[in-house]
Amino acid sequence: MSSSFPNPFLNSGFKTRVVSAIVLIGIALAGVFAGGNLFILVVAIFGAMMLNEWKNISDPNGGNLPLALNGLALIGTTFFVVSGMITQAGILLFAFVFLNSLERARRGSAWRAGFGLLYLLLPVLLLMMLRNIEGGLGLVLYIFTVVWAADSGAYLLGSMLRGPKLWPEISPNKTWSGFFGGIGLGTICGAALAYFLGRDFIAFGALAFVLTIVAAGGDLLISRMKRHFGVKDTGDTIPGHGGVIDRLDAFLAAVLVCAALIYEYPGIWGQF
């Protein structure tokens, strides 16, 4: 007897999506476990790719100057972070946000350059910092696990159950069933990892619950930006997924929230 639910594993492009995800996960985990300069390099490369995608979708006729400013911002702030000069990195980042906005103002919509640089580069720098704190390896693995699980849960349950749309004006393919599927699987996997590491799985399960919602919000934010710019994907770098921003949109938001929590509650991540 045939099932009344669609089988997401039979969707066109599913195998391509899975293979791409496996390759990306392998690269990410190799960098995370290696730490040090290799991790910095991997994160910086992905950061450069995201900044390039943002320029292409938000300012396609801007020429090479915006790319040069983005590159200098990435290199300069990364150097300061690696050197432990966090305050200087923050000052330089906001200086480039101003410069990028000023340069873009010649063509109107100055917010595009400033917002893009800040929203994409800040999580990149914070991720470098998070990996380097006490318990940083476990923390970064925890963030990856929650976001990956939430993304998978949303895709699988949303594909099977479908139903009412979450926000059709922003993202016509996202459903409430997928939203709750992401929350469920992300929370379970986050709590399971904490338990495996011998930590308070209830507390970290609760945090995972929050992060799944934040991740969904980050996904919707980038979807809103793509609608504004009139593009379907931020790029075509990753087969089956689109651009790098498409793949990391939820992760960017999760990193921002985790970094804010660490600032508010220093030392909590030493548990990992």
In a domain, 6, yes or no: no
For residue 25, give the H/E element and its range.
helix 14-34
Average predicted confidence (pLDDT) for the chain: 89
Quote the pTM value. 0.89
Q: What are the tens digits of pLDDT across the range 237-265? A: 887 678 999 999 999 999 999 889 888 87
In a domain, 45, yes or no: yes
What is the distance between the alpha carbons of residues 111 and 226, in angstroms, rounded to a whole number? 15
Q: What are the tens digits of pLDDT across the range 178-195? A: 999 999 999 999 999 989
In a domain, 29, yes or no: no
Q: With CA atoms as reference, report the closest residue to 213 among 250, 244, 173.
A: 250
Boundary of a domain, candidates 97, 132, 167: 132
Let me know whether 138 and 268 are in one domain: yes
Let me know whether 177 and 162 are in one domain: yes
Q: What are the tens digits of pLDDT across the range 97-107? A: 999 999 999 88
Q: With CA atoms as reference, report the closest residue to 257 among 151, 142, 132.
A: 142
Provide the domain limits for residue 155.
134-272
Let me know whether 121 and 224 are in one domain: no
Let me know whether 151 and 127 are in one domain: no
